[in-house]
Structure 1
């Protein structure tokens, strides 16, 4: 996981730093849906339980089916999937989650 600076969001430097992209490496035993929640929580400096449910945005089982492991075989997905979650634009690939502030606040 790429380090995410902890900020209070109250000054211009904090807001500027938060606009940069954050990359989260998906763990070997971590499902893509859990990785999305963990990545957004890290980027926004919130606890995963403080975020709205991911299923309000996308079916976690379908996301896991696209990018998760299938037994001993790696995922078949080679592309990416973009969603708005927790006020962030989230790009999911097989190996990583990229998070940045959504242009419209993720609403």
Structure 2
């Protein structure tokens, strides 16, 4: 599944990731494990907002998450 995390969307990149995973898993974001157990949300937000190219990948809540420099979010089981 691909979800746009462009700067026009509301919230920080880390919050948009939580919302996207919650929607994909039909869960409430508060029921998901804390993102900071996987990656520092403040560092993630800063990196995504300042990247010129490349991507960041990590595993969260059983999903492989990739955030590209253009804000595109991809995740898979």
Q: How high is the TM-score relative to the length of structure 1?
A: 0.63
Structure 1 residue 34 corresponds to structure 2 residue 48: no
After TM superposition, what 4+ stretches of structure 1 lie above 2 angstroms from structure 2?
none
Q: 1:83 to 1:76 in 2, by over 3 A?
A: closer
Determine the C-alpha separation between the residues in 1 that align with 2:43 and 2:16: 14
Of 40, 59, 63 in structure 2, the residue corresponding to residue 88 of structure 1 is 63
Determine the C-alpha separation between the residues in 2 that align with 1:77 and 1:91: 15
Q: 1:67 to 1:57 in 2, by over 3 A?
A: same
How many residues align? The count is 74
Of 35, 44, 48 in structure 2, the residue corresponding to residue 54 of structure 1 is 35
Q: Give unmatched runs, 5+ long, in structure 2.
A: none
Deviations 1:40-64 (A, max 9, x none): 1111111111100000000001001
Larger Rg: 1
The equivalent residue for 1:98 is 74
Q: Which has the higher strand share?
A: 2
The alignment's C-alpha RMSD in Å is 1.4
The equivalent residue for 2:48 is 67
Alpha carbons 1:43, 1:99 under 8 Å: kept: no
The equivalent residue for 2:51 is 76
Where do 1:5-16 residues align within 5 Å?
Answer: none
Q: How high is the TM-score relative to the length of structure 2?
A: 0.84
